[in-house]
Structure 1
Amino acid sequence: MEIGYVILYVEDLAASVGFYRDVVGFAYKFTDAGYAEFDTGGVRFGLYERRRAEWLTGRGVTPGAGAEVVVMVEDVDECFARLRGAGAEVLSGPADRPWGHRTVHVADPDGFVVEFAEEIPRARQRR
């Protein structure tokens, strides 16, 4: 078993495509029928118009709350400078985390948290 897709339900598809393409830096693939997809090198990452969710799932979906997308990067500080320059809403960081990541968190247009993480030495070992 493996994860094939991660799809976020978004209010404004064009705004979210712009954010994930221009701010996050994902390679945009296509948009079709309220769905947009990006090439992320592994698991497919997609956006779907929230207004269409009920047709697909049988019920509406709550925006933004409780989801996080983690993007692994080589240099969080360089990424942070780029994000600020792009006008991203920075929520936290950069900060070293005891589990072995240096992170910065931003909010996407729907309030989803996007974490950019660089691997660093762990300060705390797993039990």
Structure 2
Amino acid sequence: MKFHATRLLVKNFHESLAFYREVLGFSGWQNDEMEYAYFEEQQLALFARGRMVNMIGEGDHMSSSQCILQFEVDEVDHTFDMLRNKGIHFITHPTDITEWGSRVAHFRDPDGNVIELYQSIRK
């Protein structure tokens, strides 16, 4: 498992995007429809909090989350099984999110921080 990015869950995607691009000078790619941006050099992503809430399906439980730690793995399903066998309770099971080009699964650390296992499925 290797660290991929910190994903900030932002209230106002366009305001945050302008801040990181125009004020801090970060460059990267964005998808306005998905309200997602990625600054590869900084290993930082922005994502609309409401969209993440919808993806994970936790409603109010996600409202206090400010970020997600994202780890890239070779096979999400294998890592999911390994961690579940160690007692990890997953928020989501391995799922293909084709619009992200990713297969993902989510769980929380002991302090409640969301961790995403990520596998690229782009071809």
Give the TM-score band, short-chain normalised.
Answer: 0.3 to 0.5
When you count helix as a share of all residues, which structure comes out higher?
A: 2
Larger relative contact order (CA 8 Å, sep ≥ 6) = 2
TM-score between the two structures when normalised by the length of structure 2: 0.46
TM-score between the two structures when normalised by the length of structure 1: 0.44
Larger radius of gyration: 1
